[in-house]
Amino acid sequence: MAAAFPKFCYDSRLADATPAASTTAAGYNVLNLRDWRPYTWWKPTAIPATVTVDCGSSKAADYFAVYGHDLFSRGCTIECRKSTDNFAANDVLVATKTPTDDSPFVIEFTSTSARYWRLRITTGAPPVLAIAAIGAILTLPRRLQNGFDPLRREVRGTVHRSEDGHPLGRVLTYEAWTQDLQILVDWTWLRATWVPAWKAHLRGTPFLFAWDLTDHPAELYLVQAGEAFSAPHTIGPYADLSLTISGVSL
């Protein structure tokens, strides 16, 4: 199995306050970036384009992510920047990404804090972005246990044969991706980290799940948690945390 621990990307500085876009095409509101819906979009009208948020106070982040975009097709580079003075004199490049395809991505960086955060698109033609986040990533304390099957798909559709038995074709509606996550965690982590994250976001709002950002960064899924998680006590100071997550396969 891979070296990295599974990660949840849900925390976002764009949710701390109303983000402001440098430009916005009609019908592509910048608020769509933070709604965790892959079917609502933001689109600037000119490049460079920025989305800036004033968090009100210094806030930390160690990743930025984009899900649903055509940055590659539009020839864009996207930057994550921070500032202490709303980018007047202080404008620090934190991370940058020039996509090589239009797949979703997460870029991790060393945790840093600032009051003002910004995504900046520097080259190319105006792209569309569905979901963007800058925030603190939630990393599970261990790797996933046996049974996790990251490549499995549930195909919704039908396969047709003729009355004489000849193949006629296959029609897909979509491919679902559903996983039952199970991991042994200690009670301290469960209470201090997991439960607040569950209450703040995970139980009701979609999030990005990366089971191995190091070796398989492309296997990134926008998922929704099942109705509840369970964490029965097990040997020692541990609980057996399990939950179901589901989304659409890539």
Which residues contribute to the site for another protein (CB under 8 A)? 17-20, 22, 27-29, 31-32, 35, 39-41, 43, 52, 54, 68-70, 73, 102, 128, 156-158, 160-174, 176, 248
Q: How far is the CB of 29 from another protein (least distance, A)?
A: 4
Considering the complex, state which of residue 110 and residue 173 has its C-beta at the smaller distance from another protein: 173
Q: Which is nearer to another protein, 7 or 69 (CB)?
A: 69
Closer of 141 and 226 to another protein (Cβ): 226
Nearer to another protein among residue 6 and residue 126 (C-beta): 126
Q: Which of 2/25 has CB closer to another protein? A: 25
Cα dihedral 249, 174, 154, 38 sign: positive
Answer yes or no: are the C-beta atoms of 134 and 14 closer than 8 Å. yes
At its nearest, how many Å lie between another protein and the CB of residue 41?
5
- Left (φ > 0), alpha (ψ -120 to 50) or beta: where does 4 sit? beta
Closest to another protein by CB, 1 or 159 = 159
- Nearest-approach distance from CB 224 to another protein, in angstroms: 11
**Min dist. Cβ of residue 188 to another protein (A):** 33
Q: How many CB atoms lie within 10 A of CB 36?
A: 21
In 56-93, which positions are buried (b, 16+ CB within 10 angstroms) versus exposed (e)?
Answer: eeebebbbbbbbbbbbeebebbbbbbbbeeebeeeeee
Q: State the minimum distance, in angstroms, from the CB of residue 175 to another protein.
A: 8
Round to whole Å and give the CA distance between 6 and 216.
Answer: 11
How wide is the angle at C-alpha 146 spanned by C-alphas 136 and 140, nearest 5°? 15
Instruction: Give the Cα separation of 199 and 209 in Å (integer).
Output: 17
Largest CA distance in the chain: 75
Give the shortest CB-223-to-another protein separation in angstroms.
12
Q: In whole angstroms, what is the distance from residue 25 CA to residue 19 CA?
A: 15
